Structure 1
Amino acid sequence: MLKVENINVYYGNIQALSGISLDIQEGEIVTLIGANGAGKSTLLKTVSGLLKPKQGKIIYEGKPINGKAVQTIVKQGISHVPEGRRVFANMTVEENLQLGAFLRKDKEGIKQDLERVYELFPRLLERLKQQAGTLSGGEQQMLAMGRALMAKPRLLLLDEPSMGLAPLLVKTIFRIIEEINKAGTTILLVEQNANLALSIANRAYVVETGRIVLSGDAAELTSSEQVKMAYLGGH
Structure 2
Amino acid sequence: MLQIENITVYYGNIQAIKGVTLDIQEGEIVTLIGANGAGKSTLLKTISGLLKPKDGQIIYEGKPIGGKAAQAIVKQGISHVPEGRRIFANMTVEENLQLGAYLRRDRAGIKKDMEQVYELFPRLLERVKQQAGTLSGGEQQMLAMGRALMAKPKLLLLDEPSMGLAPLLVKTIFRIIEEIKATGTTILLVEQNAHLALSIADRAYVMETGRIVLSGKANELTESEEVKMAYLGGH
Does the alignment reach a TM-score above 0.5?
Answer: yes
Match of 1:224 in 2: 224
SS at match of 1:18: strand
Q: Which runs of 5+ in 1 are unaligned?
A: none
Q: Which runs of 5+ in 2 are unaligned?
A: none
Match of 1:21 in 2: 21
Q: Distance in 2 between the 1:19 and 1:68 partners?
A: 19
| 1:199 and 2:203 matched | no
Matched to 2:94, the amino acid is: E
Q: Any residues of structure 2 matched to 1:86-97 within 5 Å, and which?
A: 86-97=86-97
Match of 1:163 in 2: 163
Deviations 1:75-112 (A, max 9, x none): 00000000000000000000000000000000000000
Q: How much does 1:234 deviate?
A: 1.4
Q: Any residues of structure 2 matched to 1:203-214 within 5 Å, and which?
A: 203-214=203-214
Q: Distance in 2 between the 1:68 and 1:42 partners?
A: 16
Match of 1:40 in 2: 40
Matched to 2:58, the amino acid is: I
| 1:104 and 2:115 matched | no
SS at match of 1:21: strand
Q: How much does 1:229 deviate?
A: 0.1
SS at match of 1:115: helix
Q: Distance in 2 between the 1:232 and 1:79 partners?
A: 29
Deviations 1:135-165 (A, max 9, x none): 0000000000000000000000000000000
SS at match of 1:216: strand
State how many pairs are aligned: 235
Deviations 1:102-140 (A, max 9, x none): 000000000000000000000000000000000000000
Q: Any residues of structure 2 matched to 1:47-196 within 5 Å, and which?
A: 47-196=47-196
Moved over 4 A (4+): none
Across the aligned residues of Structure 1 and Structure 2, the Cα RMSD in angstroms comes to 0.4
Q: Distance in 2 between the 1:25 and 1:68 partners?
A: 21
Matched to 1:132, the amino acid is: A
- State percent identity of aligned pairs: 86
| 1:4 and 2:4 matched | yes
Matched to 1:78, the amino acid is: I
Match of 1:31 in 2: 31
